[in-house]
Each structure stands twice: as structure tokens, then as C-alpha cells.
Structure 1
Amino acid sequence: MIPALLVIVLMPVISFAMFKFMIIPMIKAELPEPGEAAPITAEDLSITYDESGAQLEYSFEPVIANVLGTSQTRFVQAVFTVYGKHPDFVALIEAKKVRLRDHADSVLGGLTLADLEKREIKNIVRNQLREGFNHHLGKPLVEEIYFDSFVTQ
């Protein structure tokens, strides 16, 4: 009984001490000093945009995937176009086209009938595609995605 009481009493004390004397000093050591330049700048990320503001576009071929949980009797098809302002946008998309198609297949293949009945499913899929594409590209290049068609059969 005494060990159980000691654990109940000492754990909050030990947790507080660890946080105050170990965690907070470690976090403070990583923060830059006030007035010091930020360690990451936009130039470090090597993101460039076309100054004219013209958006470049890349249209994907239809992506077809089986709806999850329907024993492969239903499918969803999406045709979409991605837009960005990077000068080499089309070349960067072409270079990673296979990965981007695979990500689109994964996103659409993970949808269930209940998901497809939601009113906002196109926006959910659009956001998942944009985040995944930017992750695979390594930079936030894809700004917008518009669906030419989004069909469930």
C-alpha cells in the first residue's frame, strides 16, 4: 500500500520538476535571441513566383478508384486541374506525376459511401490533394485545385 501512495504523491512532483528544469530549458535553448534573424527565410525555401501573377495549370487524366467497403461494385472518378504560380510549375508536376497520381488514387480510394454523401466532400478531397501534392513536391507549389468532374457510380 505504501508504494502505491508514494506513486500517487510523487508522480505530480516529479512531472512538475521534469517540466520546469528539463523541458522548458531545452525549448528556450532552441529559440532565437530577441532581435536575431530568423533561421529560415523565404530564400532558404527557394520558392519563386511569376511576378505577372499568371497562374499556370496542369490537367490530370481521370483518376478512378473503387469506393471503400462496397466489394468493388462502386467507384468514384475525378478529373481535376491544378494551378500554381511557380515559373517551372508544369515541369515540376511532370517530374513527380507518378507520385501525384498515386496520392490521388489513395485519397479517392479511401472514400466510403458515407463520405461521398457528405455535402462538403469535394472540398475535403480538394484539401487532401493539395496538401499531399505540396508534400510530394517538397514546396507549396499547388495553390488551387478545380474539379472538371467528380462522379460516383
Structure 2
Amino acid sequence: MAENTEAMQGAEAAGQEGARETSSGSGFKAWLPLILVVVLMPALAWAMTTFVLIPQLQKSLGLEPAAAHAESHGSKKEGPRETVQMNKLLVNVAGTMGSRYLLVSLAAVGRHPEFRARMQENDPQLRDVACGILATKTLADLEKPGARNLVRTELINAFNNVLGEAMVEEIYLTEFAIQ
């Protein structure tokens, strides 16, 4: 019986040493899936966004990918910057029943080789569109922070629609007075 007890104690001691070795060795193995998830998930998310989601969104919105856009319009963007002035656009401020006026002068900037010619050719339409956009603004709209940036963005989009392509890159409001 003493032999059995000693044999059992020896077996238990050997089992505990084996368990220690397995637990220390399996510690890394237990953490490996977590480490892989933490490292690989951001990389997978970036890759999916860049190569799958963004191209699909561009395709569904009818936009051409940025790389193709840069290649197809690269030569047009490399020309010298040209500026075309539009002076003294005077409109009534919306909601004031003609008692308040907005006076705006602006400079449109573009790099397209035909920019100046197309701007002059379409001057009446561009002035009409600009006056139409400005006349929809109320006094509260014009006094908001960032109102000038909103007006710039709307004018750039409208001018590019009239011109038929993205020729206007920037619009600078050289005069912006409410009276």
C-alpha cells in the first residue's frame, strides 16, 4: 500500500509538472487568436474600404475613381491659373420685401486651357445663376458662420453645371456687402 501511495504521489507530481509546461506553452496559443484579430482586422477594414466600398460608391454615384480622374484630367489641371472677375452682382435679400440688398463681386479661378473663353462666352448665364443663388439667401442665412463658404460652394457647383464640366476650381468673394 505504501508503494501505491508513493507511486500515486510520484504520478501527481509528474502530472503537475506536465500541467505547468502545458499551461505556459498554451498561454501563447490561447492569446494567438486575439492577437491576430487585433492586428488583422484594421488592415482588413482598410483594404475593404479602399478597394471595395469606395469604388462601389463611386460607381453607384456615377463618379469616376480618383486615379482615373487624375489621369484623364491631369493635363487640364496643369495649366496656369486664370482668374475671371464678375463685378457688382446686386440682388434683393430674400424675406426682406426689397428693403435689403446684397452686393457681391467675385473672382472665379480655373486651370482649364479654355477657362477664360468659356467664362466670357457664358457670362450672361453665369451671372443669372449667381444672382439666382444669391437671391434665395435670407438675412439669417447670410449672417450664419460659414455662410460665405456655403455661397462659394453653391456658386462653384452652379458655374460648373453651366460650363458643362469642372472648370471652376475656386471662387473668391472680393466684395460681400449687405445693406
Structure 1 residue 152, shift from structure 2 partner: 0.5
The amino acid of 2:136's aligned partner reads: G
Structure 1 residue 48, shift from structure 2 partner: 4.8
- Between the aligned residues of both structures, percent identity stands at 35
Cα 1:50/1:127, change in 2 over 3 Å: closer
Runs of 4+ in 1 over 3 A off after TM superposition: 45-48
Structure 2: runs of 5+ lacking an equivalent: 1-58, 60-64
Distance of 1:94 and 1:55 partners within structure 2: 16
Alignment partner of 1:49 is 2:49: no
Distance of 2:170 and 2:156 partners within structure 1: 7
The amino acid of 1:76's aligned partner reads: L
Cα 1:70/1:91, change in 2 over 3 Å: same
In our comparison, the structure showing a higher alpha carbon Rg is: 2
TM-score norm. by structure 2 comes to: 0.58
Question: What residue is the counterpart of 1:75 in the other structure?
Answer: 101
TM-score norm. by structure 1 comes to: 0.67
Q: Deviations over 1:72-117 (max 9, x none)?
A: 0001011000000011110011111111000100011001011011
Distance of 2:141 and 2:158 partners within structure 1: 19
Q: Over the residues paired in the alignment, what is the CA RMSD in angstroms?
A: 2.2
Distance of 1:48 and 1:66 partners within structure 2: 41
Question: What residue is the counterpart of 2:116 in the other structure?
Answer: 90
Structure 1: runs of 5+ lacking an equivalent: 1-30, 32-37
Distance of 1:128 and 1:102 partners within structure 2: 14
Question: What residue is the counterpart of 1:34 in the other structure?
Answer: none
